[in-house]
Chain A
Amino acid sequence: MNDDLVTVMVVGALDREAQSLVEQELASAGIDCFIEGSVVYGVQVRSTDADRARQILEGLQALQDHWVEFPSG
């Protein structure tokens, strides 16, 4: 059951456009992501993919007009 997951970003629970963008972008990079939550959805990836996923998502211009937040640490 994917216990080694790290949240690299959160998106609005109602913002399916952003969720889809993230899923597509990470999938194209070969990164599995797991998006779930309430009020906000966490974008979780395996810890081994976390750094690369953060880098990809922080540079994703298509998210420019969407509310997203990046937890760090």
Chain B
Amino acid sequence: MFAPRISRPESRTARAANPKTTSTTAGPRRQTQTAAAERSRVLLRRIGPGSFAQLVSRRTADPPGREAGIQPPGPEEEGVNGGGAGAAAPVTCDCVPRGIRIANVQAFQNGPRYGHSFDVVVSLSYRGAPAGRVGNDAQLVWRERSDRPPDWYGVAPNTWADLFTLFPNSGTFTGWTRNRARPCPGREVATITDRPAALLDRPRRTIEFDISVRGGGVTRHVRAVQTLVPDGSGGIRRQSFRIRR
């Protein structure tokens, strides 16, 4: 029923387009998406037929972590959500979100496609974990609820879905999964860029965003709503992106 399918890493071009994560303290650069990707595969297997569960990943190019300056994860790395807490170092840190906001919202139209680009800017602090355990990374939850979800989500209209769980390897999440320096201890700002868009010859669509980062007993979240309405004649009737307080 289902033939093997392939998954390929985001292009270098796309990676380069999202190098926005900045660090205020130098630290070991470390990344892995293994845990998130594996969790995604497990979840997808559980979803069952007729949904995106049938995705099977087989890497055909560089695995994550081979980019210049990014080391592969250490064998003892815990690999939580964003890719691990840098457990190879003798001192590890807990990652705690200090703040989160949506910035740089820009409407665009590119041929028949229209929508917005926006950044989710997450301020993070890393502090030493208590003796006897490794540090824990913060958890990103990227929930969206669409009134016209694509068939490949496997979710009904107006149903929340965590897209970070479904697509941890999407280039949208590079700023979270790959580009963080994780200074330990220290602070940094991670920037995640998305570009939700629809086609002018498709029906109207509204997406609600509920994005949160949890860590160290703290949860920060932002919400927004994008509404895209074509005018039925090849133009745009409405193109709005509202940040909810």
Query: Interface size (A, Cβ < 8 Å)?
Result: 35
Q: Cα distance A42–B49 when bound, in Å?
A: 18
Are A36 and B198 in contact, CB atoms less than 8 angstroms apart? yes
Q: Is B201 an interface residue (CB 8 A)?
A: yes
Q: Is the interface of A mostly helix, strand, loop or mixed?
A: mixed
Question: Of A14, A40, A41, which contacts B18 at CB under 8 A?
Answer: A14
Q: Specify which chain B residues have a CB less than 8 angstroms from the CB of A64 in the assembled complex.
A: 8, 60-61
Query: A18, A36, A37, A41: which contacts B11 (Cβ < 8 A)?
Result: A18
| Docked complex Cα distance between A66 and B171 (Å) | 10
Closest to B195 in A: A13
Q: Which of B12, B49, B172, B207: most chain A CB closer than 10 A?
A: B172
Cβ distance B19 to chain A, nearest Cβ, rounded Å: 12
> A30-73 vs B: 1/0 string, CB under 8 Å?
00001111111110100000000000001000011111111111
Ordered by A's residue number, 20 sampled pairs between the chains whose C-beta atoms are within 8 Å are: A10-B167, A14-B10, A14-B14, A14-B171, A14-B194, A17-B11, A35-B113, A36-B199, A37-B150, A37-B197, A38-B196, A39-B196, A42-B152, A64-B60, A71-B55, A71-B152, A72-B55, A72-B56, A73-B2, A73-B50
Interface on B for A, CB 8 Å cutoff?
1-3, 5-14, 17-18, 49-50, 52, 54-57, 60-62, 110, 113, 115, 142, 144, 146, 150-152, 163, 167, 169-173, 193-199, 201-203, 207, 226
